Amino acid sequence: MNRSNGKMSFDVPPFAAAALARAHSLWARQFVRVGVFSLLGLFAILTIALVLVFRHYAKDVPSIDWALNYRPPIVSQVWSADGQLIGEFYDERRVVVPYEKIPHKLAQAFIASEDSDFFDHPGFSWTGILRAAVKSYVLRHRLKQGGSTLTQQTAKAILASVEGFDQARARTFKRKIRELILARRLEANLPKEKILELYLNQVFLGHHSYGVQAAAENYFRKNVWELTLPEMALIAGLPQAPSHYSPFAHPESARARRSYVLGRMRSDGMISKAEHDMANAAPIAVFPVEEIQRDTAPYVTEQVRRDIVNRYGNERLLRDGLSIEATVDVEREKDASAATLRGILDADKRQGYFGPLDHLDRSAWDEFRKKETPILPKDVLEDAVYAALVTDVDAKGMVAHIAVGPFSGTLPIANARWARTPNPELWAEGGRYAIASLKGVLTPGDAILVRPISPKRDGARDGYVFALEQDPHLQGAMISIDPQSGYIVAMIGGYDFEKSEFNRAIQACRQPGSAFKPIIYSAAIEEKNFSASTILVDSPIVTDDEQSGKRWKPSNYEEEFQGDVPVRKALAHSMNIPAIKTLQQVGVHDAAAWAHKLGISTKLNEDLSMALGSSCVTLWDLTGVYAAFNRGGTRVHPTYIRRVLDRDGRVLENHTSVDDMSVPFTERVAAGYAKLFDAPERVMTPQTAFLTTQLMQEVCTYGTGARAQALHKPVAGKTGTTNDLFDAWFVGFTHDLVTGAWVGYDTYDAPMDKYETGGHTALPIWLDYMERALKGRTQAPFEAPEKIVWVDIDGDTGLRATPATRTPVKEAYLVGNEPPDLTTPGQASTAVDAQEGMTRGGL
């Protein structure tokens, strides 16, 4: 022991110090040894645990066959005959493009914004996982922060395709581990470029866009390989939050996100500073997503959808990328739509004014104007129909003052003369019953429809002159068929598809009135040897219905009787009594069978009223029957689908016509070969078809369809009007086009205006369309088949012309059935009054 400086200490002997040093060294080595073995053991345990966990969750991990044989849901498309896209159907709007067609800079933009280490990591990023774990569990205590690489996101897509979206997006450890397993398998079996191709075709980019091609089409109406750098950067910024970064809903957020992507590309050396600055300064210019099937040929596209779903199933249509080639011609469809709309609007105004949309208290006027303002043009009102407010009507009722949002103007009585009170007993044609004052028609506070008719300088908001409009109560439909191919080239199912998807061209069953008479007369020509000169007695007729016990006394439309009339005159002037007597000759049962043979598919009333079109038929069926007349007696099976192909281009069905000159020669050859085994069904002789057509030409020359002469082409057709004025028809054809038009109310609450006949209401629509559809196209005359002769006759009597006949006309007859030459001794003609059973010359 040593005492120094008042302190006491102990001296350790040298041998003890050495022993202590040796002990410390042994302890340190032992500690290190134990620590190393402990760490190795812990690592081994963790490894084994990790292997066991991975093995456990790997048992039911989906195969990567989905990626190796990539066939995701893709959009099915409907194409018009002239190659325009008219419809799309999908669960996920996706158009798959190969990696070679995806711009290199677009791929770089996604890598820069989503996964900068994509080409370096093994499928996942440890730093990303740890960062996500820390933020999610330490800071927020729940799994929310993303740390997924592009490979993991592709793996997530596999899970979603196999197990469903909800399962693939579940925020659980199990899902994350299974996702990592799949990511590793993808990396082990696919090159990075293939994984990137899968991702870029699979990723959701907002507004129904799945994959970069769909996004390029939806946002910019371009193909992906046509995108500019700012457009690529905008798309690449969407995956994180497509709704939040939507350039439609949030343009400023989209711009900020695009700047972020461009900044990442610049810092990673993918673009130069000049490219960055130019792209960053570019405006956000995107186009609204087009509602193709509702804008172009909606009734056609919807009918195609129903047909495909019925035969292939809805899932296949929405997921399998069918390519459906329709027969509709877009230009003709537009012509048909415009003609139908014009005709309905004109006819609807003749019915009168059905009143305002609403009537508002003065306290609600400002709110109404504000409500309309956001949907109006900013500067100048266009030629369109707008909802307007009547703010005043002058004391004399000559002018109403109108407000359309912030715009204002006047509505003079000259632009509303048609607005009479509806009365079906009146005929408003030519301005009859025009109103003399706006008083009682318009009242301050009325919400009405108007159309600006005066041009205005830019920026003007007052001084407009308006015309009164109304949403039509009438409806209309049209079908136009190429008779040789059977293709539907135009189909209109109603006034407005947005308001009613009911297709009146196919789904509505309506009484055809006199448009049914050619069916009755063709049966008489075929089966009873009728001719244009067969005499029918137009005289009163009374029948008793044995089933109902009711007595029926039909009359002609003009409520007059003309005595003896030839068939040609009876049909041209649409006489009812001669048609009934013709039906008596044919027999109601045989006539119904004949109509069904020609193509009428609906049930027919087997009584004498059938001759007057009392049984409902569809415009589709009736137009098809007229096409059979045009085709010389062979039945046409109209189609609106030419071909259906699967996603690999294999033809699933083919209705190509050998007469279709718009398709390649090889397709026409194949169609011709198929036609050998599917010969057209002959439903009447060529002679019957031609003679009936000839009679309908006379309808369009001097009969109820004479207005069709304005086409200045050979035309045959027939008007149809029901006795109660609920339906107006005209079905007519030239050599190359058969078209049927119908106008009427959907319901039977009230009839149309008096004298709204087929010739007055439906024929103008038909003519308007046909003039445009056949513009610049000559139409060959209807060619007579063999065994047809032409004879000069007296048109009024049907007798053979003599030197005394003032204006003889040429008429067609079956050889041996022409009217006798009364100047030759021993020849006479007969006529039968079918009702009275009295001979007046025989057939």
209 flagged as catalytic = no
- CB within 8 A of 625, min separation 6: which ones? 518, 519, 595, 598, 599, 600
The predicted pLDDT at position 834 comes to 36
Residue 622: closest CA among 723, 727, 714, 534? 727
Helices (H) and strands (E) in the chain, counts: 25, 28
String of DSSP letters for 360-372: --GGGHHHHHHHH
Q: Is the dihedral of CA 222, 223, 229, 230 positive or negative?
A: positive
> Considering only 128-132, 262-266, 342-346, which range has the smallest mean pLDDT?
128-132
Rounded Cα distance between 401 and 410, Å, is 5
Q: What is the pLDDT of residue 46?
A: 66
The active-site residue, picked from 76, 80, 113, 114, is 114
Tokens coding 585:
């000759």
Under 8 Å between Cβ of 184 and 176: no
DSSP code string of 218-267: HHHSS-GGG--HHHHHHHHT-TT-TTTT-TTT-HHHHHHHHHHHHHHHHH
Please write the tens of the pLDDT for every residue from 50-60.
Answer: 555 555 555 56
β-pair type (76-79, 323-326): parallel
Chain segment 7-31, per-residue pLDDT in tens: 455 455 665 566 556 656 666 667 6
Mean pLDDT computed over 104-110 = 96
Residue 369 to residue 459: CA distance in whole angstroms: 18
- β-bridge pairing 727-733 and 716-721: antiparallel
Query: Under a CB-based contact definition with an 8 Å cutoff, are residues 625 and 596 in contact?
Result: no
Does residue 697 surpass a pLDDT of 50? Answer: yes
pLDDT of residue 20: 59
Cα gap 21→630, rounded to integer Å: 119
Tell me the helix, strand and coil percentages in the chain, rounded to 5: 40, 15, 40
Helix (H) or strand (E) holding 310: helix 298-312
pLDDT at 508 over 50: yes
Letter for the amino acid at 708? A
245-270: average pLDDT: 95
Say yes or no to pLDDT of 713 above 90: yes
Q: Residue 726 and residue 226: Cα distance in Å, rounded?
A: 54
**pLDDT for the residue 540:** 86
pLDDT at 51: 56
Is it the case that residue 831 has pLDDT exceeding 50? Answer: no
Instruction: Specify which of 424-438, 558-572, 693-707 reaches the highest per-range mean pLDDT.
Output: 693-707
Q: Catalytic one among 80, 161, 209, 514?
A: 514
Residue type, 178: R
Q: Which residue has the higher pLDDT, 582 or 48?
A: 582
How far is Cα 795 from Cα 808, in angstroms, rounded to an integer?
Answer: 7
Phi, psi of 422 (to 5 degrees): -55, 135
Cβ-contact 254, 262 below 8 angstroms: no
Lay out the sheet containing 716-721: strands in order across. 488-492, 475-481, 738-744, 727-733, 716-721
649 by DSSP, 3-state: which? coil
**Which tokens in the block code for residue 331?**
């230009």
Lowest-confidence region among 205-209, 522-526, 760-764, 766-770: 205-209
Cβ atoms within 10 Å, residue 519: 29
The DSSP 8-state label assigned to residue 703 in this structure reads S
* Pick from 553, 593, 601, 598: nearest CA to 577: 553
- The predicted model scores a pTM of 0.85
And the tokens for 489? 């080239």
Residue 341 — pLDDT band, cuts 50, 70, 90?
Answer: very high
Please name which of 722, 728, 745 lies closest in space to residue 475, comparing C-alpha atoms: 745
Query: Of the ranges 452-466, 507-521, 635-649, which one carries the lowest mean pLDDT score?
Result: 452-466
Q: How far apart are the first and last CA of the chain?
A: 160
If phi > 0 it is left, if psi is from -120 to 50 it is alpha, else beta; for residue 355 that is left
Tens-place pLDDT, residues 620-665: 999 999 999 999 999 989 999 999 999 999 999 999 988 787 777 7
pLDDT at 276: 96
**Which stretch of 252-261, 413-422, 552-561, 642-651 has the lowest confidence by average pLDDT?**
552-561
The DSSP secondary-structure symbol of 634 reads B
Pairing of strands 535-538, 563-566: antiparallel
Residue 428: pLDDT over 90: no
Return d(Cα 380, Cα 407) in angstroms, integer: 9
How many angstroms separate the most distant Cα atoms in the chain? 177
Beta strands 475-481 and 535-538, pairing class: unpaired
- The residue type at 188: A
Contact 521, 567 (CB under 8 A): yes
- How many Cβ atoms from other residues are within 10 Å of residue 804's Cβ? 6
Contact 456, 630 (CB under 8 A): no
pLDDT band at residue 840 using 50, 70 and 90 as cut-offs? very low
- Answer yes or no: is pLDDT of 137 > 60: no
Predicted confidence (pLDDT) at residue 538 exceeds the cutoff of 60: yes
What the block records as the tokens of 689 is: 């078809």
pLDDT at 247: 94
Q: How far is residue 413's CA from residue 398's CA, in Å, rounded to a whole number?
A: 5
The CA distance from 137 to 152, in Å, is 20
* Contact of 101 with 225, CB cutoff 8 Å: yes
Q: Contact 603/593 with Cβ under 8 angstroms? A: no
Q: What is the torsion angle, in degrees rounded to the nearest 10, for the CA atoms of residue 440, residue 446, residue 452 and residue 456? A: 110
pLDDT band with cut points at 50, 70 and 90 for residue 828? very low
Residue 262: CA count within 13 A, CB half-sphere: 24
Per-residue model confidence (pLDDT) at position 833? 41
512 pLDDT tier (thresholds 50, 70, 90): very high
Question: Would you say residue 407 has pLDDT above 80?
Answer: yes
Residues 770 and 734 sit within 8 Å (Cβ to Cβ): yes
Question: Buried b vs exposed e over 164-182: b needs ≥16 C-beta within 10 Å?
Answer: eeeebeeeeeebbbbbbbb
pLDDT in tens, 722-752: 988 899 999 999 999 999 999 999 999 889 9
Percent of the chain whose pLDDT exceeds 70: 84
Pairing of strands 464-469, 407-412: parallel
Q: State whether the Cα torsion 165-167-171-177 is positive or negative.
A: negative
pLDDT at residue 491 greater than cutoff 90: yes
Q: Is the pLDDT of residue 49 over 60?
A: no
Residue 418 pLDDT greater than 70, yes or no: yes
In this prediction, residues 679-707 reach a mean pLDDT of 96
CA distance 271 to 268: 8
Alpha helices in 599-713 (DSSP H): 619-630, 665-676, 686-702
Torsion of CA 340, 344, 347, 353, to 10 degrees: -160
Strands 323-326, 475-481: pairing is: unpaired
Residue 629, token pair as written in the block: 């007349």
Strand ranges across the sheet with 323-326: 85-89, 76-79, 323-326, 641-645, 651-654
The rounded distance, in Å, linking the Cα atoms of 601 and 110 is 58
CB 722 within 8 A of CB 756: no
CA 495 to chain centre: 14
Q: How far apart are CA 293 and CA 333, in angstroms?
A: 13
pLDDT of the residue at 462: 79
The secondary structure element, H or E, covering residue 561 is: none
Catalytic-residue membership of 114: yes
- Condensed to tens digits (0 to 9), the pLDDT of residues 238-254 reads 999 999 999 999 999 99
Structural contact between residues 75 and 94, judged by C-beta atoms closer than 8 angstroms: yes
CA angle, corner 796, sides to 712 and 818, nearest 5? Answer: 90
Strand partners, 721: 728
| Contact status, residue 476 vs residue 494, Cβ threshold 8 Å | yes
Instruction: Tell me: pLDDT of 545 over 80.
Output: no
Average pLDDT over the chain reads: 86
Q: Which residues contact 132 (CB under 8 A, 6 or more apart)?
A: 145, 146, 147
Total residue count of the chain as it appears in this document:
843
Determine the pLDDT at residue 838: 32
Look at residue 591 and tell me whether its pLDDT is greater than 70.
Answer: yes
